[in-house]
Amino acid sequence: MSHLIHKHLLISAKVNSPPLFNYSSDKLNANIRKLIKNIDMEILSGPHSAYCNEPGNEGWSSTAIITTSSITFHSWTESGQVELDVYSCREFDINTVFQWISQFEIEKLNYKYIDRELDFKEISSDSFDIWSNKKIDRIVS
């Protein structure tokens, strides 16, 4: 068995275009599958997506089990909040994850990238107080 590495990316973003009620679970599932493919991972189960219509908590949630761990996505329609966790026992390019989440028109983004192998060591403590295309260009390039 190869050495497992335990990388965990947590993203919290305020967005201008969160997925709305009519987004559809099929569309979100396809979108999560695209993210998984783009970070070169393999699906073990899912994605499984559903819309919550509970007042004050309206929004989409999705989870996928990948062969190296999991991906979880949550959004809130009213507040435009989006949360994304990508946890893998194999390396992945966080820039690709930032490109994927930018489809929701990010206004503000904060993230933590953690190495969970030995402790919960932060790999990067950068955060974005105000999102701009200039900042995504620095990340993506």
Q: What is the pLDDT of residues 80-109, one digit of tens each?
A: 999 999 998 888 888 899 999 999 999 999
pLDDT at 15: 94
How many Cβ atoms from other residues are within 10 Å of residue 118's Cβ? 7
Q: What is the largest CA-CA distance in the chain?
A: 47
User: Cα(59)–Cα(22) distance, rounded to whole angstroms?
Assistant: 11
Q: Can you tell me which residue has the tokens 């509970």?
A: 54
Write down the pTM of the prediction.
0.80
More confident residue, 86 or 116: 86
Q: Give the orientation angle of helix 133-140 with respect to helix 94-101, to 10 degrees.
A: 150
